Structure 1
Amino acid sequence: MRYAVLGGGKRYRPQLVYATGHLFDLPTALLDYPAAAVELIH
């Protein structure tokens, strides 16, 4: 649990998805599944 919560790199990739979505004015809720998918694939 500590590894999942405190691992800084684990939050970086999904943040890139949200930042890209923000550039294209996409709603945050639409980006939840792609952000999770990017993290799971990695």
Structure 2
Amino acid sequence: MSDGTFEPKIVGFLCNWCSYRAADLAGSSRMKYAPNARIIRV
């Protein structure tokens, strides 16, 4: 952020049975997502 651009930090609250499993599968398949996104399993 030293150049003045805004980079938001994204927090995703994902349920264990649907969204989190899909995100886990995407990670296993080596798919990329935004580096400023964080996933929290609930």
TM-score bin, normalised by smaller chain: 0.3 to 0.5
TM-score (norm 2): 0.38
* Structure 1 or 2: more strand by fraction: 2
TM-score (norm 1): 0.38
Select the structure of larger CA radius of gyration. Answer: 2
Larger RCO: Structure 1 or Structure 2 (Cα < 8 Å, ≥ 6 residues apart)? 2
